[in-house]
Amino acid sequence: MRLQSDSAPVNDTLLRAARGRVVSHTPVWMMRQAGRYLPEYRKLREGTTFFETCRNPDLVAEISIQPLERFPLDAVIVFSDILVVPQAMGMEVLMVKGRGPVFPDPLRTTEDLGRLLAPDVEETLGYVFEGLRRTRTGLNGRVPLIGFAGAPWTLMAYMIEGGGSKSFDKARAWLYAQPAAADRLLAAITEVLVEYLDHQVRAGAQFLQVFDSWAGMLGPRAFERFALPHLRVIASELGRRHPDIPLAVFARGAHHALEGLSKAGYDVISIDWTLDPALARQRVGPDITIQGNLDPAVLYGSPKSIREAVGVMLQGFGGERHIANLGHGMLPDHDPEHAAVFVEAVHELSRQA
Ligand code: CP3
- The residues near 275 (Cβ < 8 Å, ≥ 6 apart) are 255, 258, 292, 293
Distance from C-alpha of 34 to C-alpha of 312, rounded to nearest angstrom: 26
300 occurs within a structural domain: no
182 occurs within a structural domain: yes
Half-sphere exposure of 111 (CA within 13 A, CB side): 0
95 occurs within a structural domain: yes
257 occurs within a structural domain: yes
10-residue mean pLDDT series, the chain (353 residues): 52 97 97 97 96 98 98 98 98 95 97 97 98 98 98 98 96 97 98 98 98 97 98 98 98 95 98 97 96 98 98 96 97 98 98 85
* DSSP states along 225-248: IIIHHHHHHHHHHHHHH-TTS-EE
| Pocket of ligand 1 contains residue 163 by CB under 6 Å | no
Q: Which domain holds residue 56?
A: 13-289
Own/partner long-range contacts of 170-174 (Cβ < 8 Å, ≥24 apart): 170/106, 171/217, 172/217, 172/218, 172/222
| Pocket of ligand 1 contains residue 157 by CB under 6 Å | no
Residues written for the chain: 353
Q: Whose CA is nearest to atom 38 of ligand 1?
A: 100
Q: How many CB atoms lie within 10 A of CB 171?
A: 25
Q: Ligand 1, closest atom to CA 331?
A: 35
pLDDT at position 10 is: 78
Q: Ligand 1, closest atom to CA 33?
A: 1
Structural domains of the chain, count:
1
pLDDT at position 352 is: 84
Q: Whose CA is nearest to atom 39 of ligand 1?
A: 81
Q: Ligand 1, closest atom to CA 50?
A: 48
Task: Kindly report the CATH number assigned to the domain that includes residue 92.
Answer: 3.20.20.210
- Pocket probe for ligand 1: among 81, 85, 249, the residue whose CB has the most ligand atoms within 8 Å is 81
Distance from C-alpha of 353 to C-alpha of 350, rounded to nearest angstrom: 5
Determine which helix (DSSP H) or strand (DSSP E) holds 326, and give its type and residue range: strand 322-326
Residue 145, burial from CB neighbour count under 10 angstroms (0-12, 13-18, 19+): buried
Q: Whose CA is nearest to atom 31 of ligand 1?
A: 100
Q: How many helices (H) and strands (E) does the chain have?
A: 15, 9
Which residues face 145 on adjacent strands? 76
- Pocket probe for ligand 1: among 37, 66, 82, 97, the residue whose CB has the most ligand atoms within 8 Å is 82
Three-point CA angle 117, 152, 147, nearest 5°: 95
Distance from C-alpha of 44 to C-alpha of 131, rounded to nearest angstrom: 15
Q: Whose CA is nearest to atom 45 of ligand 1?
A: 50
153 occurs within a structural domain: yes
pTM, rounded to two decimals: 0.96
pLDDT at position 2 is: 43
Which residues are known catalytic residues?
A: 32, 36, 45, 81, 158
| Pocket of ligand 1 contains residue 36 by CB under 6 Å | yes
CB distance 197 to 138 below 8 Å: no
Distance from C-alpha of 15 to C-alpha of 42, rounded to nearest angstrom: 30
| Pocket of ligand 1 contains residue 38 by CB under 6 Å | no
| Pocket of ligand 1 contains residue 12 by CB under 6 Å | no
CA of 310 from ligand 1 middle (Å) equals 24
| Pocket of ligand 1 contains residue 256 by CB under 6 Å | no
CA of 32 from ligand 1 middle (Å) equals 7
| Pocket of ligand 1 contains residue 214 by CB under 6 Å | no
| Pocket of ligand 1 contains residue 261 by CB under 6 Å | no
Three-point CA angle 29, 71, 141, nearest 5°: 75
Indicate the pairing of strand 76-77 with strand 94-96: unpaired
pLDDT at position 7 is: 54
